[in-house]
Amino acid sequence: MPRNCTIYRRAQFAASHRYWLPELSEAENLARFGPSARFPGHGHNYVLHVGMQGEVDEYGMVLNLSEVKQVLHQRVIQDLNFTYLNQAWPEFAQTLPTTEFIAYAIWQRLADALPLTSVRLYEDPELWSDYRGEGMEAYLTVATHFSAAHRLALDHLSLEENSEIYGLCARPHGHGHNYGLEVTVKGSIHPRTGMIVDLAALQQVIDHWVVKPFDHTFLNKDIEYFARVVPTAENIALRIQQLLTLPVRELGVQLHRIRLQESPNNSSEVYGEFPLEELAATAVPAAQLA
């Protein structure tokens, strides 16, 4: 019986890059790319995770990881480490070396040598991209956080009954968390900018619809929605999905995943967009959904 398994290999490289299109003026580049357009560029410690799949062999391996390490070094790391990415590979002369496009380009460099399932590239701990061999479609994740308090209880139940369901979380004065939030969007890589979305605009949307309204609040009392809905991690994630679906669409991409880390022990994930027919049924303009 075949025994399939997916394995991952980590690698890293340090490199600089600049977002600059010569067909645009300096003012246009600065307006479009912000500080990332400044000369001579800026750098990152990139972290690469390569996913590979296959059958487990008689030696208990999908692939010999020493050989995988050599492939990664020869085809990726030695070319990109301590380089100016815009000049490192020919493809970066045509398409800017964004996190999304670098992940795509790395896949192309490895595809004929390894049984790839995914390439994930971290630009920093709060920004990364995934490419999975789906044409020019890629995924971009922004990580952020907010602090809030909540109480888990149903109004029609007594404290004793709520405590039976929610335990200590039902205590009358609530408790708080430093919530970690990951928002993943998917879209097509632009052949010139290398981007699936304007990153600054995406971050502004997340801040406007979620972080600023939720941060330093008592969710049950300060957020009208949670006066009616118990603010469990699951319900908060679903509400964030609802709030972001249309604003993210307006940026030209689609919401793919919301991950909410409530504590080191508890997290919740929802995938895809909030059902559009349910958004329409509310008859509430997007600007009023918060």
Q: Which residues are catalytic?
A: 169, 216, 262
Strand partners, 1: none
Direct distance between the N- and C-terminal alpha carbons of the chain, in angstroms, rounded to an integer: 52
Which string of b and e fits 147-184 if b means at least 16 CB within 10 Å? ebbbbbbeeeeeeeebbeebeebbeeebeebebbbbbb
Residue with tokens 């008689």: 58
Is omega for the bond preceding 275 within 30 degrees of 0, making it cis?
Answer: no
Q: What is the rounded distance in angstroms from the CA atom of residue 177 to the CA atom of residue 189?
A: 36
Q: What is the rounded distance in angstroms from the CA atom of residue 151 to the CA atom of residue 82?
A: 50
